[in-house]
Structure formats: C-alpha cells, structure tokens
Chains A and B, each alone.
Chain A
Amino acid sequence: MAIEFMNPLFEVIRDSDRCIKCRVCERQCANEVHKYDADLDKMISNEMTCVDCQRCVCLCPTHALKIRPNENQFRENANWTHQTMDEVYKQAGSGGVLLSAMGNPKDLPVYWDRILLNASQVTNPPIDPLREPMETKTFLGKKNQGITYDENGKAHYDKTPYLELDVPIMFSAMSFGSISKNAHESLARAATELGTFYNTGEGGLHRDFYKYGANTICQVASGRFGVFKGYLDAGAAIEIKMGQGAKPGIGGHLPGMKINDEISRTRMIPKGTDAISPAPHHDIYSIEDLRQLVISLKEATNWEKPIIVKIAAVHNVAAIASGVARSGADIIAIDGFRGGTGAAPTRIRDNVGIPIELALAAVDSRLRDEGIRNDVSVVVGGSVRSAADVVKAIALGADAVYIATSALLAMGCHLCRSCNTGKCNWGIATQRADLVKRLNPDIAAERLVNLVTAWDHEIKEMMGGMGINSIEALRGNRLMLRGVGLTQKELDILGIQHAGE
C-alpha cells in the first residue's frame, strides 16, 4: 500500500474512567470509527474516517467522549496551511475535484456581526412586546400599485397572488434526495404549525407530503426533477431556481447510488441513475426567456400562485434582480455565498459569490432607485444564523428570510460538512434506511417549531426596543442600523451610517 500522506483530521479522546463499554458509539457511527475489542475488553478508535459529527459524543451516556482536532500538525506555514497541504495530497491521490458540503467555512467578513441595532430612549419609547400588540406577520408578493374607481364609485384593485407568513422566516430549498424523507417531513410539519413555508428544493414532492401543500413552495430547477402539473398545483408558490449561493454558476449532481425507489418515483427518473441538474436552464438565456417561464408557470397554475425566482448573490446581483423584477416574478430570493449545500466543488463553494448583506442592500437600493421595489418582495438566505440576523436583514430591506442551515442544526446537524458522503449520522443528509430512522419527525418538527418560535420572540423584543411594532415598519428602515469597524465603501453599499454618526 502506498503511503498515506494525510493524517486523521480528528482525535477521539475517550475517558476510560468513564467509558462503560456500552458500545453506543460503535452502533451509532456510520463511519465505523469506534469498535469494541473483545480481547482487550475495551473500545478502540479508527479516527481516519471520523468527520466530527458529534453523534457519539451526544449519545455517550457517561460523557466519556471528546472529538478534538488532531494535534499532529504539519510544519507551521502561514501560506501553506495544513488544510491547503491536505487538499493537495488528496487531489494528488484521487485526481478528482474536491467536494465539500454546507456553507463556505472560510474566515471572510460576516457583515451581520458588523452591524448594530438601535433602541429607543426617552423619546419615542420602546414597546413591551409582552404587553402591547406586536406584529411579525408579513406578506410576500407584489404590493398593490393603487386603487381605481369605476363610474359607480366602486373600488377596484388588481389582487395578485401572495404568501402570508406568520413569521418572516421560511425554510429554504433542500431537495428530497439531498436530505432524507424524515427531514422533509419535519420541515413540512414545522412550517405548517408555524404558519410559514418550506421549500421542496429541486427534487420534487414526495406523495406523502402533498397534504402539507398549503405550506409548501415547489421549486422548479434546471433539471426539472419531479415537475408536472400536479406538483405545480400542490404548493402555495412556485420557485424557479436560477442559482444557489453555495455554488453559483454550476448545477448539481445527485449520485445514482442515492436514487432509491422513493427518490426515483419522486424525481421521476430511473432508479440508480445520476440526477444531474445543468448549470443553466437550457431554455433561459435572457430575462425575456425567464419571463416566458414565469408566465408559463403562472398560466399552468391559473395565475393563482406567486412565482419566486431564486438567484445566487453574485457580483452584478443588483442588475440581475432588476431584470428578475421585470420578468413578472412576484418574489426574488437571493442566496448569499455562505449558503449551504449537500455537495459542491470546494473551490466553487469557497471562492464564488458575495456576502448576502451586501447583495441585499444593493438589490433593495437598486429596486427602490428604479421605482420597482413594490413589484416584488425580496427574500434573503445564505447564513441567517439568529433572530438578530433576521432583524438586520429586514432593516436592510428584506421582506423575509430563508433559513436552512439553522433548520438543519435544529434537527441535529453538527456541521461536519460531510453531507456528500451520504452517511449522515443524524439521519438528515442520507438515504440509508437505518440512518434515516434516526431522525424522528416528532422530535425534529418540534425542535424546528421551538427554534422559530424563540426567534419570533426575540424579533419582537428587538423591534420593541426600537419602538417598532410591525415587520412592515422595520422593512428597509436602515436608520435603525449602524456599522462598526467598516470602511466607508462598505457603509455606502450597505446604505448605513457608522456607529456614532
């Protein structure tokens, strides 16, 4: 066997004083890191395959386990870091494109953390959300441009389809295939209970979940998997996916081994075949083409459903959004470069796209400047990590946010970023029946509801502090924001002042 240049990334630290050899770590590790050795009467570890998913740590009944970064390091080099070298070794060994999962983990600026919120003092007093009404309901879709009156004085207005959200938070697209059926069910049940929406992703809608249609956004992506009339009719809205923050400019690839019976039926492709989403929609090469698809989908669904167009945050996102707004779409979803994915080429994930905060501010400003802001709602995603991020996003100009990584975390994900292996120990990003079983939707749906409910409380608290009592009044209210430690250029793009100004 050739020499393996790479080291295990992690070390399993097992406290033998605590370990009772119950073997739960062994039974629960799909990567086969732990093993009971009967001759030695002890647990042993093979860390080479450990991904630091923390499943064993969480289930160990005596807290005997720790997973730590491997202390063994290559010689220190600020340029040639351990990881950079590892990647070279890996590619020299495999000859392949590096694959990663979840969002960009690089140390790039997180603008949410450089933006601070305002609060009322003395004048314009704060509002106590526990005692006074506070509205976090919001509507997505075109805002009515005006009312006309007929000769009899009767008011008329064009009522366009819209989405009504009890909280300004939706679960963003994750396909059945990239995540498990139980994960999908959890999201669907939580969205229903919360009065918001989850998104099918590009994998179609499992027949068991049509009953959650009123809280479902059905996505149409470049692969058109699972798209048919019944699917379009099933949801409350349709989303055309033009791009994804984690991998702008490229398509997707669900390997054939994950295409089991149910996924095959749902995606309407043969079992065992690779599901390849092309990088572009082959029928869309212009805004006019996009408009054709938007109109087609509206036509197909009797003009009853709002159409969302989802784009990745890229350099000229504002101009693109302007085009999208003119395509007839009701909602624009923008996905920032930290957005997650089940699998993406590492170089794409880590180097393509721009931060959602800047993209959002640019788009909102551009649409306002062009006088078309009311033609569309803007939803942003791509690493919205907390209620504070939600409030800041809305104040920057968003109508609502999409969350996915946070939702996965609520269900048990520990961001080991190994979704692409298909061996998710938490039963989320896997199709292996024994692993899928680990995610009980009774538990996961409840945790999702808890998370969003908690955020809703916090949003109300922060809005109350600012003396604001509705999402409508917070939206685009950039006066409530101040930057800290940002350059003038960044502040200009964000359209906010520096703290102290």
Chain B
Amino acid sequence: MKKVYVNEDWCLACHLCEFYCAAANSGAPDMVKAFKSGKKPVPRIQVEEGSDVNFAVQCRHCDGKACVKGCITGALSIKDGVVVCDESRCVGCYTCVLSCPFGCIVIDEEGHRIQKCDLCTKNHDGEPACVQGCPNKAIVFEER
C-alpha cells in the first residue's frame, strides 16, 4: 500500500506540510480562506524540529492499529488499509491518543475531537497535500 514517508535528510522544518495538510482538510477552497475564516484548521501532520534533524510525522497506517482497536465509539475504522476517522462519531475521549505509538493522532482542541491523516482520501484525488506541498521532496508517497 502506498503510504507517506518522510526522509529526514531533506526535511527543512519549514512546516509547509502542516499548513497544506490543515488547509486541504479544512473544507475551504484555498489556504487563505482556510486560515482566515474563524476556526484555525488543525494539521494532521506534525513537524518535529531538532538542532540538525527535522522530520514530519503522520499516521503510519501501521499493522498494529491500536487506535482502531481501542476506539470506544467505532469512529476509527480501516478502509482499504487506511485508518480513517468518522469525526461525527468521535467524542474526544483520546483513547487513540493514548494508544498511538507514533503520537500521530492530533487533538482538535476547539472541536473536542481528534483528527488524523487519512492520506487525503477524503478531500481530493492524487497525492496527499503534505507530499504536494513539500518543497524539498522530504515527504514522499510511495509503496515500500
């Protein structure tokens, strides 16, 4: 299955992936509108910055799927290998935050629920927004 991978050699910690991700999943047609119409959209990818190493982390759609197994509502499920969240069913208990070994479940503090990477399967076709927005090919979408 094609997944998003990050090569930390090329990550510049520019954080653009976070903004492209947040905008793509905001439902707004463009980034300006996404960030300027009230509620600040939440990225599902997070950049970790170090002194000389940076990388972005997002859902690995891993084999363990502890988040799905632990989900108390059934909001998290697996569709064609992709862990997806039905946000209308999430109650914000954060059991998945507790379970995810990569720290990839993101808390939408205003919405009191979680958000997670679904490889942009819900918002548009093609490569995930973080991959498209990375200026240095540090984030790739490929089969490994």
Residues of A bordering B, CB below 8 Å: 17-18, 20, 22-24, 27-28, 58-59, 61-62, 433-434, 437-438, 440, 442-443
Contacts and interface: CB of A to CB of B under 8 A. Distances in A.
Chain B's interface: helix, strand, loop or mixed, by majority? loop
Interface in B7-23: 9-10, 12-16, 19-20, 23
Top 4 A-B residue pairs of the complex, sorted by shortest distance between their CB atoms: A20-B35, A22-B19, A440-B10, A440-B136
B52 A61 contact: no
B74 interface: no
Interface of B: 9-10, 12-16, 19-20, 23, 30-32, 35-36, 52, 133, 135-138
Contacts of B19: 20, 22, 24, 61
Given A28-B12, A59-B14, A434-B52, A20 B135 contact: no
B14 A440 contact: no
Nearest to B23: A61
Nearest to A27: B14
B52 A433 contact: yes
A442 B137 contact: yes
B15 A24 contact: yes
Contact of B31 (A17, A28, A61, A440): A61
A443 B136 contact: yes
Contacts of B137: 440, 442-443
B10 A437 contact: yes
A371 B16 CA distance: 61
Given A17-B32, A437-B9, A437-B10, A22 B135 contact: no
A59 B15 contact: no
B95 to A, nearest CB: 31
A59 B16 contact: yes
B31 A20 contact: yes
A181 to B, nearest CB: 12
Contacts of B135: 58-59
A23 B16 CA distance: 9
B14 A24 contact: yes
- Taking each of A18, A22, A27, A59, which has the highest tally of chain B beta carbons within 10 Å of its own beta carbon? A22
A23 B32 contact: no
Contacts, number: 52
A61 B15 contact: no
B10 to A, nearest CB: 5
Nearest to A434: B52
19 contacts: A17-B36, A18-B32, A20-B19, A20-B31, A24-B15, A24-B16, A27-B13, A27-B15, A28-B14, A58-B135, A61-B19, A61-B31, A62-B31, A62-B32, A433-B52, A434-B12, A437-B10, A438-B12, A442-B137
B57 to A, nearest CB: 18
A267 B9 CA distance: 25
A347 B20 CA distance: 46
A35 B14 CA distance: 14
Contacts of A442: 137
Contacts of A62: 30-32
B47 to A, nearest CB: 10
- Taking each of B14, B16, B136, which has the highest tally of chain A beta carbons within 10 Å of its own beta carbon? B14
A104 to B, nearest CB: 31
- Taking each of A20, A24, A59, A434, which has the highest tally of chain B beta carbons within 10 Å of its own beta carbon? A20
Given A27-B15, A61-B16, A20 B9 contact: no
A438 B32 contact: no
A23 B49 CA distance: 14
Nearest to B8: A437
Nearest to A25: B14
Given A59-B135, A433-B52, A438-B136, A23 B10 contact: no
A53 B123 CA distance: 34
Contacts of B12: 27-28, 434, 437-438
B28 to A, nearest CB: 11
- Taking each of B19, B30, B135, B136, which has the highest tally of chain A beta carbons within 10 Å of its own beta carbon? B135
A447 B30 CA distance: 28
A312 to B, nearest CB: 36
A438 B136 CA distance: 7
Nearest to B36: A20
A428 B137 CA distance: 17
Contacts of A28: 12, 14
B133 A22 contact: no
Given A62-B32, A440-B10, A22 B15 contact: yes
A58 B16 CA distance: 12
Contacts of A61: 16, 19-20, 23, 31, 133
Contacts of A24: 14-16, 19
A42 to B, nearest CB: 13
Contacts of A438: 12, 136
Nearest to B35: A20
Contacts of B14: 24, 27-28, 59
A22 B16 contact: yes
Contacts of B30: 62
Nearest to B138: A440
Contacts of B52: 433-434
- Taking each of B10, B30, B36, which has the highest tally of chain A beta carbons within 10 Å of its own beta carbon? B10
A382 B135 CA distance: 30
Nearest to B133: A61
B13 to A, nearest CB: 7
Nearest to A28: B14
A103 to B, nearest CB: 27
A433 B51 CA distance: 11
A62 B138 CA distance: 21
A406 to B, nearest CB: 21
